[in-house]
C-alpha cells in the first residue's frame, strides 16, 4: 500500500514538473498575449493542484501530531485549486472565442462568482464542521468528492458552450478545429477526475491532465506558430518565418531591393464595440488575407505583428511602387468587404521603410514606420475621416456615412419583410441646446440614442444629422416600438420625438429616396405633438410631388407673379382699431391652387432659396404701401417674416433696406419678424443684423415666442421691440387652468423689459377680453380676420371707418398708452419690485380739451363702479355729469403734464368713501391734439 501511494505521489510530482516546464517555455515560443496568459495560468494552477494532491498522498499522516487539521487544510487547498483551474480553463477558451466574458473586470467577477461561492462554502464547512469533508479515518467524504467534481463539471459545460460558439462563428476550418479540440479538454478532466476518486490508487487525473495539456501545447503551436496568434484569426504566417525571410535576404545582400510595410487597421476597437468581436474578427481575417496576397505579387513575406497590425516585406522598385501597392491593398480590402457584406469597410494606415534602413535593425525600422502611421492618423483626423469609421463621436452610433454604405444591403436582404426606413427627429432640440448648453444637449442625444438602441438593435440605427436619427428595420412592430420610445423620452426629457416611416416594397428602392419620403411623412405631422409618427402614403406622396414641383417651378412662380402676399390684420386691444398687419406668403398656382407656406417654405429653406421668396414678398409690400401713400389712401405698418436661412445666404439687412429706400418708405412702415428658433441656428450673425435694423429705424419683433423651449435670456440679449406670443397658448385656453397665469406673466415680463406684445391665434371673444384685461397690446386671429389677398386687405383699409384704422402717425402715441402695465401699480417704475397680483383699480383715459374718454378700466376698477351703483359701460357719460369729479381730474392732469409726467394726487370722496386719486401723464397725440393719462384710486 505504501509503495502504491509513493508511486501515486511521484507520478503527480512528475506531472507538475512537466506543467511548470511547459509554462516556462510558453513565452519563448509565442506572441504572449491575453490568450497565452490564460493558457499559462492553466499550467500553473494545474501544477499547483498536483503538488498539493501528491503531498496529501505521500505524507504519513498517522505519524503527524496534528494530522487532522493539516489534512483538512490540504484538502481545502486542493478544492480551491480545482476551482481556480476550472476558471482559468474557461477564460483560456473565452480569450479565443466570441463571447468576451474576460474583457472587463465586471464580467470576470461574474464568471468567477460560482467558484467563489463554492470556495466560501468549502472554507466555512472546513472551519465549522470538518467531518462533513473528512471522516474519522481521514478519508474524503462524498460531499467533498462531489465538490471536487461538481465545480469543474459546471465550468466544463460552460467552456464547451464557449468552444462550440467560437467554432460556429470562425471563418477558417483550422480555427474551428482548434475550438472543438480545446473544448473537449475540461470534459476529459472531469471524466478522469471522477475515475481518480473512484479507484483512488491510480493517478488517472494527473496523467490525463498532463497528456491533454502536452497535446494542446503541441497542437496549438503546430497550428499557430506557423499561422500566427489564434485571437487574430488572420490566417497569416507567423513572426518566426517572417524573421527567417529577412535573415535570408540579408545574407544574400538583397535588403536594398525590399521595403518593410507596417499595416495598421484603424478603428478595429470601434468595430468590436459596435458590431461585436465576430465582425471584428472577420475584418482582421479579411485584411490578413489581402496582406498575404501581396507576397505572391511582390515576392515577399508577411506576418501578423500583433493586435491590429501586420508586417510585410516586399520586393518593390521604389517608393512610387510602394504607394501603388498600398492603393491596391486598400482597393482589394474595400472590394472584398463589399462582396462579403461586412458591416464596415476596414480601413488601414500604412508606414514603410526600405529594408536596409538603419543597417537592417528591425526595431528601428518599425519605429520609423510607426511614426509615419502616427502622422497619417493625425492628418486623417484633421479632415473627414470617412465618418471616423462610420461612428458618430457624440452618441457612439454609426453615422450617415455608414448608412449610405450599408443600409441598401440591409434593405435588399430583408425586402420580403418590407423593411421600414424611419427618420426620427427630436422636437425642440435647438431650443434645448440654447437653454441648457451644447454639452447637456450632447448628453441628451446619448440618452435618446440609448433608448432607441434598446428597441432597434437588430436593424440599423444611425445618428443621421444633428437632431435626426435613421432606423432601418424589418421588425413588424416598428410603429409600436416607436410609440414606446417616444413615451419614454417624453416622460424623462424636456423634448419629444416625431418620426416619418417609409416601408420599402422593392429591392430597387433607393435608401436615400426612402429617407426623403420618411422626412416628408415626418414633416406632415407639423407641430401636432399628439402624433408620434406618420407613415408615407398616397396623401403624403401628393405633398412630395408638390415639393418637387416647388423646386422645379419656383423661379417661374416668381417671374409669373404666382407668389403673393396675404395680409392678416393686428388690432389694438385698447381701441379696436387696425394698427398693423402681417404679410404672409402664398403661392397661387395654376395647377394646385393657393398653397400655404407649409407646402413650400421648408423646401425652399433646404434649397437655400427662401431669401428670394422673402424679398419678393417685401418688394410687393413696399410697392403696395408706396402706391397707397401716393394716392392718399389709409395705410398701416406691415410686419414681414425673415427666415433663419436669410441670414446665412445674403446680407438680408442690405437687401431689405435697399427695397424700402427704393420705394421711399419710412423704416417704421416695415416691422421685421424673426422666429425665436432662428437664434439657435446663427446667433452672432443674427445679433449683428438686428443691430443694423435698429440703427436704420426698424422695429424687430420676435415671432412665435413659446412655440419651443423658450430661452428668456434671448429677450434681453437681442433687444427685441415686440414679443409675438405663439398661438399654442390659446389652443387649450379653456381647459388649462394655469394658462391665464402664464399669459399674464409673459405680458408683464415683456412690459417690464420695454417690449410691446401681440398675441396670435385669437379665436373667441373670451380670449380677446382676457388679453385686453391683462394689457396685451395687439391681437391677431380669425375672430378679427383671416389672412386675405392684397386686394381684399386694401378694401378693408379703405372701407373701414376712419376710427377703425390707426394712422401710422399715431402709432407712437398708442404704443405708449397701451404699454402701461395694468397688472401692477403704474405709478411705480417697472424696474422696481412690486407685490404680485395687485388689485388696485387702474384706468387709462384720453383728454381732448375738457372732454374725457375712459378707454380702459381693469377688473378692480369696474368692480368698484358696480359696488357703487354705476355701470362700467356708461361710466363715460356718468363721470362727465359729475362736474366735481371732472374738475378734480382735469386739475390733476394739468399738474402731471406740467411736471413732465410725474404723478399728481388728491384725496377724493366718492359716494361717501375716501379714495387717494393718482394721475400720471403719458403722451400727446400730435395729430388729434389729445393727451393720454393713467390713473388709479386707492381706498383709504
Each residue's pLDDT tens digit, 648-705? 889 999 999 999 999 999 999 999 999 877 776 677 788 888 999 999 999 999 988 8
Which H or E element spans position 318? none
C-alpha cell at 176: 474551428
Are 580 and 671 contacting, i.e. CB atoms less than 8 angstroms apart?
yes
C-alpha torsion 80→81→83→84, nearest 10: 120
Q: What pLDDT, in 10s, does the model give residues 857-889?
A: 888 888 888 888 888 888 877 776 777 888 888
276 CB burial (10 A radius; 0-12, 13-18, 19+): middle
Q: 899: Cβ–Cβ under 8 A, 6 or more apart, which residues? A: 921
634 pLDDT band, cuts 50/70/90, is very high
Percent of the chain residues topping a pLDDT of 90: 28
Q: Tell me: do 299 and 355 sit in the same domain.
A: yes
Q: What is the extent of the structural domain holding 95? A: 2-224
**pLDDT score, position 174:** 56
Cα–Cα distance for residue pair 72/123, rounded to 1 Å? 10
Are 441 and 429 contacting, i.e. CB atoms less than 8 angstroms apart?
yes
CATH at 566: 3.20.20.450
C-alpha cell at 767: 380670449
Would you say residue 57 lies in a domain? yes
Say how many domains are in the chain. 5
Strand partners, 917: 906, 937
Cα–Cα distance for residue pair 160/180, rounded to 1 Å? 8
Percent of the chain residues topping a pLDDT of 70: 84
Q: Tell me: do 396 and 365 sit in the same domain.
A: no
Q: 27: Cβ–Cβ under 8 A, 6 or more apart, which residues? A: 36, 40
> What value does the mean pLDDT of the chain take?
81
C-alpha cell at 163: 468552444
**pLDDT score, position 104:** 60
Cα–Cα distance for residue pair 332/316, rounded to 1 Å? 18
CATH at 494: 3.30.70.270
CATH at 905: 3.30.450.20
* Backbone dihedral angles phi then psi of residue 353, each to the nearest 5 degrees: -155, 145
Q: Tell me: do 380 and 444 sit in the same domain.
A: no
Q: What is the mean pLDDT of residues 747-759?
A: 92
Examine the fold and report which residue of 488, 510, 536 is the final residue of a domain before the chain moves on. Answer: 536
SS3 888: helix
Would you say residue 446 lies in a domain? yes
Would you say residue 255 lies in a domain? yes
Would you say residue 831 lies in a domain? no
Q: 155: Cβ–Cβ under 8 A, 6 or more apart, which residues? A: 86, 87, 89, 90, 114, 115, 186
CA-to-CA dists, residue 28 to 194, 274, 661, 809, angstroms: 35, 35, 88, 97
Q: Tell me: do 806 and 870 sit in the same domain.
A: no
pTM for the model: 0.53
Q: Tell me: do 74 and 169 sit in the same domain.
A: yes
Q: Tell me: do 505 and 578 sit in the same domain.
A: no
Q: Tell me: do 22 and 37 sit in the same domain.
A: yes
Q: Tell me: do 477 and 518 sit in the same domain.
A: yes
Secondary-structure percent of the chain, ordered helix, strand, coil, rounded to 5: 55, 20, 25
Q: 729: Cβ–Cβ under 8 A, 6 or more apart, which residues? A: 706, 739, 742, 743, 759, 761
Are 741 and 721 contacting, i.e. CB atoms less than 8 angstroms apart?
no
Would you say residue 88 lies in a domain? yes
Reply yes or no on whether the pLDDT at 136 is more than 80: no
Cα–Cα distance for residue pair 311/302, rounded to 1 Å? 5
Q: Tell me: do 249 and 170 sit in the same domain.
A: no
789 pLDDT band, cuts 50/70/90, is very high
Q: What pLDDT, in 10s, does the model give residues 698-744?
A: 999 998 887 655 566 677 778 899 999 888 888 777 777 788 888 99
Would you say residue 606 lies in a domain? yes
910 versus 670: the higher-pLDDT residue is 670
CATH at 49: 1.20.1070
Cα–Cα distance for residue pair 302/350, rounded to 1 Å? 14
Q: Poorest-confidence range of 495-504, 588-597, 620-629, 795-804?
A: 795-804
Are 471 and 461 contacting, i.e. CB atoms less than 8 angstroms apart?
yes
Q: What is the mean pLDDT of residues 522-531?
A: 79
Q: Tell me: do 302 and 422 sit in the same domain.
A: no
Q: What pLDDT, in 10s, does the model give residues 419-477?
A: 999 999 998 887 788 778 888 888 899 899 989 988 888 889 999 888 899 999 999 99
C-alpha cell at 332: 482589394
Reply yes or no on whether the pLDDT at 616 is more than 70: yes
Are 722 and 694 contacting, i.e. CB atoms less than 8 angstroms apart?
no
Cα–Cα distance for residue pair 423/410, rounded to 1 Å? 16
Q: What pLDDT, in 10s, does the model give residues 60-97?
A: 655 555 556 777 777 777 778 878 888 888 777 776 65
Beta-strand runs (E) in 533-669: 533-535, 563-572, 578-589, 593-595, 638-642
Q: In this structure, are strands 699-705 and 670-675 parallel, antiparallel, or unpaired?
A: parallel
The full DSSP string for 817-833 is: HHTS-TTS-TTS-TTS-
Q: What pLDDT, in 10s, does the model give residues 227-258?
A: 333 333 444 555 666 777 888 888 888 888 88
Q: Tell me: do 720 and 864 sit in the same domain.
A: no
- Which is nearest to 502 in space by CA: 484, 523, 488, 487? 523
Q: In this structure, are strands 913-925 and 904-910 parallel, antiparallel, or unpaired?
A: antiparallel
Q: Tell me: do 581 and 722 sit in the same domain.
A: yes
Cα–Cα distance for residue pair 193/189, rounded to 1 Å? 6
Q: What is the mean pLDDT of residues 336-362?
A: 78
Sole residue written with cell 440614442 = 449
Would you say residue 835 lies in a domain? no
Would you say residue 824 lies in a domain? no
Examine the fold and report which residue of 224, 253, 281 is the final residue of a domain before the chain moves on. Answer: 224
Are 295 and 235 contacting, i.e. CB atoms less than 8 angstroms apart?
no
Residues recorded for the chain: 940
**pLDDT score, position 626:** 97
Amino acid at each position: 500500500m505504501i509503495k502504491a501511494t509513493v508511486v501515486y505521489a511521484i507520478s503527480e510530482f512528475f506531472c507538475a514538473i512537466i506543467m511548470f516546464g511547459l509554462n516556462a517555455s510558453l513565452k519563448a515560443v509565442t506572441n504572449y498575449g491575453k490568450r497565452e496568459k490564460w493558457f499559462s495560468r492553466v499550467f500553473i494552477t494545474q501544477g499547483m493542484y498536483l503538488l498539493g494532491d501528491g503531498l496529501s498522498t505521500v505524507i504519513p499522516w498517522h505519524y503527524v501530531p496534528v494530522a487532522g487539521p493539516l489534512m483538512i487544510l490540504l484538502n481545502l487547498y486542493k478544492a480551491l485549486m480545482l476551482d481556480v483551474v476550472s476558471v482559468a480553463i474557461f477564460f483560456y477558451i473565452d480569450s479565443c472565442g466570441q463571447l468576451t466574458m474576460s474583457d472587463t473586470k465586471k464580467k470576470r467577477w461574474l464568471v468567477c462568482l460560482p467558484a467563489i461561492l463554492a470556495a466560501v462554502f468549502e472554507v466555512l464547512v472546513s472551519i465549522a464542521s470538518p467531518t462533513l469533508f473528512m471522516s474519522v479515518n481521514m478519508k474524503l467524504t462524498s460531499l467533498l468528492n462531489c465538490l471536487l467534481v461538481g465545480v469543474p463539471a459546471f465550468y466544463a459545460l460552460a467552456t464547451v458552450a464557449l468552444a462550440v460558439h467560437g467554432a460556429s462563428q470562425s471563418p477558417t476550418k483550422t480555427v474551428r478545429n482548434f475550438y472543438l479540440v480545446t473544448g473537449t479538454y475540461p470534459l476529459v478532466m472531469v471524466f478522469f477526475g471522477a475515475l481518480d476518486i473512484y479507484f483512488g490508487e491510480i493517478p488517472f487525473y494527473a496523467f490525463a491532465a498532463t497528456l491533454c495539456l502536452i497535446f494542446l501545447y503541441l497542437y496549438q503551436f503546430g497550428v499557430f506558430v506557423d499561422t500566427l496568434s489564434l485571437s487574430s484569426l488572420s490566417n497569416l504566417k507567423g513572426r518566426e518565418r517572417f524573421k527567417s525571410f529577412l535573415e535570408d535576404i540579408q545574407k544574400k545582400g538583397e535588403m536594398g531591393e525590399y521595403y518593410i510595410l507596417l499595416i495598421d487597421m484603424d478603428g478595429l476597437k470601434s468595430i468590436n464595440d459596435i458590431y461585436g468581436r465576430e465582425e471584428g474578427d472577420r475584418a482582421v481575417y479579411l485584411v490578413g488575407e489581402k496582406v498575404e496576397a501581396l507576397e505572391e505579387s511582390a515576392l515577399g513575406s508577411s506576418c501578423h505583428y500583433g493586435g491590429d497590425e501586420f508586417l510585410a516585406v516586399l520586393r518593390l522598385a521604389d517608393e512610387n511602387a510602394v504607394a501603388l501597392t498600398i492603393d491596391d491593398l486598400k482597393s482589394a480590402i474595400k472590394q472584398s468587404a463589399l462582396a462579403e457584406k461586412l458591416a464596415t469597410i476596414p480601413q488601414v494606415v500604412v508606414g514603410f521603410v526600405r529594408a536596409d534602413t538603419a543597417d537592417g535593425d528591425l526595431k528601428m525600422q518599425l519605429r520609423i514606420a510607426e511614426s509615419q502611421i502616427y502622422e497619417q492618423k493625425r492628418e486623417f483626423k484633421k479632415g473627414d475621416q470617412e465618418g471616423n469609421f462610420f461612428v458618430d463621436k457624440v452618441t457612439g452610433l454609426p453615422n450617415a456615412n455608414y448608412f449610405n454604405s450599408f443600409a441598401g444591403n440591409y434593405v435588399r436582404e430583408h425586402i420580403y419583410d418590407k423593411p421600414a426606413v424611419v427618420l426620427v427627429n427630436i422636437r425642440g432640440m435647438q431650443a434645448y441646446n440654447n437653454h441648457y448648453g451644447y454639452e447637456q444637449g450632447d448628453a441628451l442625444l446619448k440618452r435618446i440614442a440609448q433608448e432607441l438602441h434598446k428597441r432597434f438593435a437588430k436593424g440599423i440605427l444611425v445618428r443621421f444629422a444633428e437632431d435626426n436619427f435613421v432606423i432601418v428595420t424589418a421588425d413588424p412592430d416598428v410603429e409600436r416600438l416607436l410609440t414606446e420610445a417616444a413615451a419614454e423620452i417624453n416622460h424623462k426629457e424636456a423634448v419629444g420625438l416625431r418620426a416619418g416611416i417609409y416601408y420599402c416594397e422593392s429591392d430597387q428602392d433607393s435608401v436615400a429616396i426612402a429617407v426623403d419620403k420618411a422626412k416628408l411623412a415626418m414633416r406632415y405631422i407639423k407641430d401636432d405633438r399628439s402624433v408620434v409618427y406618420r407613415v408615407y402614403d398616397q396623401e403624403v406622396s401628393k405633398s412630395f410631388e408638390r415639393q418637387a414641383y416647388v423646386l422645379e417651378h419656383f423661379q417661374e412662380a416668381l417671374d409669373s407673379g404666382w407668389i403673393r402676399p396675404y395680409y392678416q390684420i393686428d388690432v389694438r386691444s385698447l381701441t379696436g382699431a387696425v394698427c398693423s398687419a402681417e404679410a404672409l406668403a402664398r403661392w397661387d398656382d395654376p395647377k394646385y391652387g393657393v398653397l400655404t407656406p407649409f407646402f413650400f417654405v421648408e423646401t425652399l429653406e433646404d434649397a437655400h432659396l427662401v431669401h428670394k421668396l422673402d424679398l419678393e414678398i417685401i418688394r410687393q409690400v413696399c410697392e403696395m404701401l408706396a402706391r397707397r401713400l401716393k394716392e392718399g389712401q389709409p395705410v398701416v405698418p406691415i410686419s414681414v417674416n425673415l427666415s433663419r436661412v436669410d441670414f446665412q445666404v445674403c446680407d438680408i439687412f442690405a437687401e431689405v433696406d435697399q427695397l424700402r429706400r427704393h420705394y421711399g418708405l419710412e423704416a417704421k412702415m416695415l416691422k421685421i419678424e424673426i422666429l425665436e428658433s432662428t437664434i439657435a441656428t446663427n446667433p452672432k450673425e443674427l445679433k449683428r443684423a438686428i443691430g443694423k435694423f435698429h440703427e436704420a429705424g426698424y422695429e424687430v419683433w420676435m415671432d412665435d415666442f413659446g412655440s419651443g423651449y423658450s430661452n428668456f435670456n434671448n429677450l434681453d440679449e437681442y433687444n427685441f421691440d415686440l414679443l409675438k406670443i405663439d398661438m399654442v397658448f390659446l389652443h387649450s385656453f379653456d381647459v388649462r387652468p394655469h394658462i391665464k397665469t402664464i399669459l399674464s406673466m409673459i405680458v408683464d415680463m415683456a412690459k417690464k423689459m420695454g417690449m410691446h406684445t401681440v398675441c396670435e391665434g385669437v379665436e373667441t371673444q373670451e380670449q380677446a377680453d382676457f388679453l385686453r384685461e391683462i394689457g396685451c397690446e395687439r391681437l391677431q386671429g380669425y375672430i378679427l380676420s383671416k389672412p386675405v389677398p392684397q386686394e381684399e386687405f386694401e378694401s378693408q383699409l379703405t372701407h373701414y371707418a376712419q376710427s377703425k384704422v390707426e394712422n401710422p402717425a399715431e402709432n407712437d402715441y398708442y404704443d405708449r398708452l397701451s404699454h402701461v402695465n395694468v397688472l401692477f401699480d403704474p405709478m411705480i417704475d417697472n424696474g422696481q419690485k412690486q407685490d404680485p397680483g395687485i388689485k388696485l383699480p387702474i384706468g387709462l383715459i384720453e383728454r381732448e380739451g375738457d372732454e374725457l374718454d375712459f378707454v380702459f378700466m381693469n377688473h378692480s376698477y369696474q368692480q368698484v363702479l358696480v359696488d357703487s351703483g354705476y355701470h362700467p359701460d356708461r361710466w363715460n357719460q356718468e363721470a362727465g355729469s359729475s362736474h366735481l369729479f371732472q374738475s378734480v381730474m382735469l386739475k390733476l392732469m394739468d399738474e402731471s403734464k406740467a411736471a413732465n409726467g410725474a404723478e399728481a394726487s388728491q384725496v377724493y370722496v366718492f359716494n361717501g368713501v375716501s379714495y387717494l386719486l393718482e394721475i400720471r401723464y403719458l403722451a400727446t397725440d400730435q395729430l388729434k391734439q389729445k393727451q393720454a393719462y393713467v390713473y388709479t384710486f386707492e381706498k383709504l
